[in-house]
Structure 1
Amino acid sequence: MNVDILLPAAREKLRAISDRAPLIEAAGLLKSGFDLVAVCGNEQNLVGVVSKTDVVERISQCQGSSCTCAVATVMTLQVLTCTRFDTLSGLWEQMKSRRIKNVPVLDEARRPVGIITARDVLQTLLTEAASEENMLRDYVMGFGYR
């Protein structure tokens, strides 16, 4: 099963801003219920992400006008990303090992097309496992076979 199955939900969770946008703009997007904001460069390609943790860390050190700095000065540059063709199980292993809750989904030009959450990935994997278990039980019990 691939990331593609979660793309409609991932698109709804996508919020993106320019790397030149002020930090306060990212904070406003995060305040509205989102956990991660994709930061895009001139070509609309992903150059980093900003999380609530990034914003809180910067604001806790604010002095004067430093809270109006550009998002680029605060964003995380080393970002785990995926494409619609990546497997959910492989993505889940990476998210789990790196303790990441949200992952940007990128197109071929590295433009963000969605944000996938750990909850969505895990829920889909658990549903798939339950379905496989039911099919195996039905096979062993001989349901539908003569």
Structure 2
Amino acid sequence: MPQNACSAGGERAGEAPPETLPVAAAEARAAAPALVSEVAAVARSRLRTVAPAALLAEVAALLSDAQTGVVVVCDAAGAALGVITETILVRHLGLRQAHFFATPASAVMASTFTACAPGDPLSDVLAMMHTRGLVHVLLLGADRQALGVLTARDGLRVLLAAGNQEEALLRNYVMGIGYQ
């Protein structure tokens, strides 16, 4: 009878011993970088959009919510055209370059903005936000579809949770408990 390749434990080739399956799963989770898609639900909840013709009074009403720091100006298909932040709004109003009830959002929006995609590594996006001093970036899908607004705080929460999980796994391993 031909001899099968065996590991030291005597398992058949191609089969992992039962106790290593959770280990392999934990290592795979630890090795896989967190993606922006992991915070997509929270980012979606922060998304506030207006049409280019919307008046600044409507934009100001949206920005008055404590959880909203940016309003995205989108075309009829939902593609992002620009953004209006609290700072942009106050600057235009303070310099008397805009009027609440006569100026459309398209007149004051910033047409250049920073965005990311759901498949981008979260750590890369957060590093870029830190380097550029950004509080939030847009999450865009295909054809510049506005999917959400990612804040640094949301991204850091995901990375912190992943770090806490890795710490717990390491502590259990060192204590002889194993992976759980």
The alignment's TM-score, normalised by the length of structure 1, stands at 0.89
User: Deviation per CA, 1:40-64, whole angstroms, max 9, x where unpaired?
Assistant: 124321111100001100110226x
Provide, for residues 114-134 of structure 1, a one-character-per-residue CA deviation record: whole Å limited to 9, x for no partner.
111111111111111121122
**Greater Rg by CA:** 2
Secondary structure of the residue that 1:47 maps to in structure 2?
strand
Which structure's relative contact order is higher, taking Cα pairs within 8 Å and 6+ residues apart? Answer: 1
Alignment of 1:3 with 2:24, yes or no, is no
Specify the code of the residue in structure 2 equivalent to 1:21: A
Write the distance in 1 (CA, Å) between the matches of 2:89 and 2:36.
28
- Within 2, Cα distance between the matches of 1:15 and 1:122? 22
2:162 to 95, 119, 128: 128
TM-score (norm 2): 0.73
Structure 2 residue aligned with 1:35: 69
Identify the match of residue 138 of structure 2 among 92, 98, 104. 104
Match of 1:59 among 90, 93, 115: 93
**Moved runs in structure 1, 4+ residues, more than 3 A?**
none
- Counterparts of 1:16 and 1:81, CA distance in 2: 15
Q: Which moved more, 1:85-94 or 1:65-74?
A: 65-74
Report what 2:12 is aligned to: none
Where is the strand percentage greater, Structure 1 or Structure 2?
A: 1
- Unmatched runs of 5 consecutive residues or more in structure 2: 1-33
Q: Higher mean Cα deviation, 39-48 or 118-127?
A: 39-48
Gapped regions of structure 1 (runs ≥ 5): none
Please tell me whether residue 83 in structure 1 is matched to residue 110 in structure 2: no
* 2:55 alignment partner, one of 3, 11, 22: 22
- Equivalenced residue count is 144
Q: What percent of counterpart residues are identical?
A: 33
Aligned partner of residue 109 in structure 1, secondary structure: helix
SS of 2:144's equivalent?
A: coil
Deviation at 1:141, TM superposition (A): 3.3
Structure 1 distance, partners of 2:91, 2:154, is 27
Q: Distance in 1 between matches of 2:79 and 2:178?
A: 51
* Aligned twin of 1:93: 127
Deviation at 1:74, TM superposition (A): 1.3
How far has the Cα of 1:72 moved from its partner? 1.7
User: Hey, what's the Cα distance between the residues in 2 that align with 1:73 and 1:50?
Assistant: 10
